[in-house]
A = this chain, B = another copy of it.
Amino acid sequence: MIHPRLTFALSIMEALAIFAYAISGFIEARERRLDAVGTFLVAMATAFGGGTVRDVLLERRPFYWVQHQGYVIAIFVMSLFAPVVLRATSRLISQRALLVADAIGLGLFSVSGTSMALDAEMPRFTSVMIGVLAGVFGGVIRDVVCNEVPLLLRDSRPYATCAFVGCALYVGLDYLQFDNVYAVLIATGFILLARLVTFRFDVRLPH
């Protein structure tokens, strides 16, 4: 299961996901007009909330962000300058950027969470759930802290559903003994595309 290429691919994925989620935290923080430290805390919670819950559930220590101090410092420096950068972009673009950044993070965190849960010998359905939690929890914390009903719940467009199907796809490919690097890429790409396509064509879940 552990595989140098996969380990490397997972590291890159995690880095991308962290920055994508941090940016969605910056955008939320700008709308709330937070100062640099507040922006930093919301960005940290968004970026590392899902991964920290995953690590608590799988008893992985030290936490990813404790071990990789570089990410924390990078997000700190970015949050000092983020308002300047973000203020330049128009409202429309920021809405789209929020969506795409969120979709990238959703795919990357969900699939890597499921992969780590399978590595930790969790049962298959539980692994899918831990993946979905790893993907959506940062955004839920971001919205709860900013006193909004989480985007996850407000919106009838499929979000956790995309992550759920993608993680189940990953578990299926893993069961069929697909090469892990391809399984990760296929499942992540599926979630990203599913989120963007269902959003574009305004697919809504029945309720």
Contact = CB atoms under 8 A, between A and B. Distances in A.
B147 A36 contact: no
A37 B125 contact: no
Interface stretch (A89-97, A152-160, A175-183, A186-194): A152-160
B144 A145 contact: yes
A135 to B, nearest CB: 11
A85 interface: no
B146 A153 contact: yes
A61 B150 CA distance: 29
Interface residues of A, number: 47
Given A69-B125, A144-B145, A147-B148, A158 B63 contact: no
Contact of A32 (B32, B126, B153): B153
Given A63-B57, A66-B122, A125-B72, A36 B153 contact: no
Given A140-B145, A144-B145, A145-B144, A35 B156 contact: yes
Copies of this chain, tallied across the complex:
3
Given A126-B69, A126-B72, A147-B147, A205 B36 contact: yes
Contact of A207 (B61, B83, B122, B158): B83
B146 A149 contact: yes
Given A66-B122, A83-B207, A149-B146, A36 B73 contact: no
B153 A38 contact: yes
Interface string A7-40: 0000000000000000000000000111111100
Interface in A70-105: 72-73, 76, 83
A4 interface: no
A41 interface: yes
Contacts of A36: 161, 205
